[in-house]
Chain A
Amino acid sequence: MNSPIAVIDTLFTLAAFIALPILLILKHRKISTDIKILISSLLLLNILYGLCLLFEWTGVTNILDPYEDLIGALIPMMWAFIFYAIIQNISGLELKESEWQKRLLEKQLLQTQKLEALGTLAGGIAHDFNNILSIIFGYIELAQLDITDPAQVRVDLSEMKNAAFRARDLVNHILAVSRRAEEKRQHIRLRDVVNEAIKLLKSTIPSTITVTAHVDSEKIVFADSSQMHQVIMNLCTNAYHAMKASGGELVVRLSDVEIREGAVFPLPDMKPGPYIRLAVTDTGHGMDDETMAKIFDPYFTTKGVGEGTGLGLSIVHGIVTRHDGYIHVESRKDEGSSFYVYFPVAGMEPDKDAIEPVMHYPGANT
């Protein structure tokens, strides 16, 4: 018997014996259960191996002797499992963190887009209100001059009333937009949202650009109407920017499509089923392949400084994806672009409490 080695082996076994219960009661935020189980197994093997060595040196009848080789081989294997589990654990944590960062970025993008939209809206509202107020003031002055002619005063008052109605419609529109600030998915008729967006576009886009709409779909999507509005507005605004210098035609189509099993899908990862397709086509400057590859990247823009944030299409992509939809683009340099958005059909009847589109005030001058 070699006593120093026996002492060492005893301590070795004892250390593993002490560590095992500590590990079992351990709750550490960075040590997952699988790692705990594997290290516990390693400690158990260490205890058994220590006993093997101890029996071997002390000369006690070794009941573990037939298993010593096996235990010895299992220890490095257990180390391999532990380190593999650690790698998996770290990768999982990294994945979670990157997912969290992605969500945060998406939120920030949405917020920036909302602020941008708010800025545009505020500018437009100020301009519209100014026009309406000018009309009202003008007719007040006319009414003061025509005070002796009651018939003419009636006409002036009628015009004032019309202008006030327009102001009321404008306020209603603003209220509707603010009411839709929080995401609320409902069964909505996409046609209504498209019509509303087109009305707004027609009053804001210059006359050098012709806006044509072919809204043929009656079907329902389960979506947030505000976000649908945002998708249409962003796509159309991009189309408008592409034709700003030269003018052209902006065509918005809404149609029902059925993607059948075995058919050639517009997009490779698309699932078969009924869809509503929104197509926004312009005759603007188009894009080359290099630009097309980047258009959905956040902050990518071909517009000049101060003209665009490069977030519009990124937001559109995010919204479409979150609604289980698909988006793809076809474009040729100097020949224009077409954006196709597919939303899955969710039924035929809209929710009763679905937010109704706001009637746009007539003849708004922006």
Chain B
Amino acid sequence: MIHENELVMLLLSLGVAVFIILKRHKFRQFFGWKLLFTAFLFFTTGCICTVLETLFFNNLLNHLEHICYLINALMIMMWCFRAIGVRGGKNE
């Protein structure tokens, strides 16, 4: 059975994804946008897996969901490291 909160998370994420796609030309100017965008994509994929796991491949999709969330967090962490000046970013 699909949980309401999971569906809300998925719909919100998809809404944000549409917003990003519509404004992608602007985001390209932002520092490390690829990392941030990919992090968000993994988060959205995690949400999709959460909703779908109640319908089929319960165990597999559940693992995938958690892995997606992990990759999302790791990518944000990488973005922070890049921004601090390890690669590309320049501190003031």
Q: Which residues of chain A have a CB within 8 Å of any CB of chain B? A: 4-5, 8-9, 11-13, 15-16, 18-19, 22-23, 25-31, 39, 42-43, 46, 49-50, 53, 68-69, 72-73, 75-77, 79-80, 82-84, 86-87, 89-91, 93
Residues from chain A with a CB closer than 8 A to the CB of B27 are 83, 86-87, 90
Residues from chain A with a CB closer than 8 A to the CB of B63 are 4-5, 8
Q: A15-B73, A50-B73 are in contact. Are A79 and B40 (CB under 8 A)?
A: yes
**CB nearest neighbor in B for A29:** B92
**CB nearest neighbor in A for B44:** A76
Q: A8-B67, A90-B26 are in contact. Are A39 and B76 (CB under 8 A)?
A: yes
Can you identify 6 A-B contacts, CB atoms within 8 angstroms?
A9-B69, A12-B66, A12-B73, A28-B84, A31-B83, A79-B13
Residues from chain A with a CB closer than 8 A to the CB of B73 are 11-13, 15-16, 19, 46, 50
Residues from chain B with a CB closer than 8 A to the CB of A18 are 77
Asked whether A80 lies within 8 Å of B90 as measured between CB atoms, the reply is no
Interface of A is mostly: helix
A336 to chain B, nearest CB (A): 48
Interface of B is mostly: helix
B50 to chain A, nearest CB (A): 9
B87 to chain A, nearest CB (A): 13
**CB nearest neighbor in B for A76:** B12
Q: A8-B70, A25-B84, A90-B29 are in contact. Are A42 and B91 (CB under 8 A)?
A: no
CA of A212 to CA of B74, assembled, Å: 79
Residues from chain A with a CB closer than 8 A to the CB of B90 are 28-29
Chain B residues bordering chain A, tally (CB within 8 A): 42
Asked whether A28 lies within 8 Å of B89 as measured between CB atoms, the reply is yes
CA of A200 to CA of B75, assembled, Å: 71
A62 to chain B, nearest CB (A): 15
> Contact string, B53-92, partner A, CB cutoff 8 A, digits 1/0?
0000000001100110110111011001101100001111
A11 to chain B, nearest CB (A): 5
- Partner pick for A9 among B6, B16, B31, B66, CB 8 A cutoff: B66
Among B29, B67, B76, chain A packs the most CB atoms within 10 A around the CB of: B76
Residues from chain B with a CB closer than 8 A to the CB of A49 are 69
CA of A31 to CA of B83, assembled, Å: 9
Asked whether B15 lies within 8 Å of A80 as measured between CB atoms, the reply is yes
Asked whether B84 lies within 8 Å of A86 as measured between CB atoms, the reply is no
Interface members, chain B 36-60 (any A CB < 8 Å):
36, 40, 43-44, 47
Asked whether A77 lies within 8 Å of B80 as measured between CB atoms, the reply is no
- Partner pick for B76 among A9, A25, A43, CB 8 A cutoff: A43
CA of A79 to CA of B14, assembled, Å: 11
Closest 5 CB pairs of A and B: A76-B12, A69-B5, A15-B73, A19-B77, A22-B80
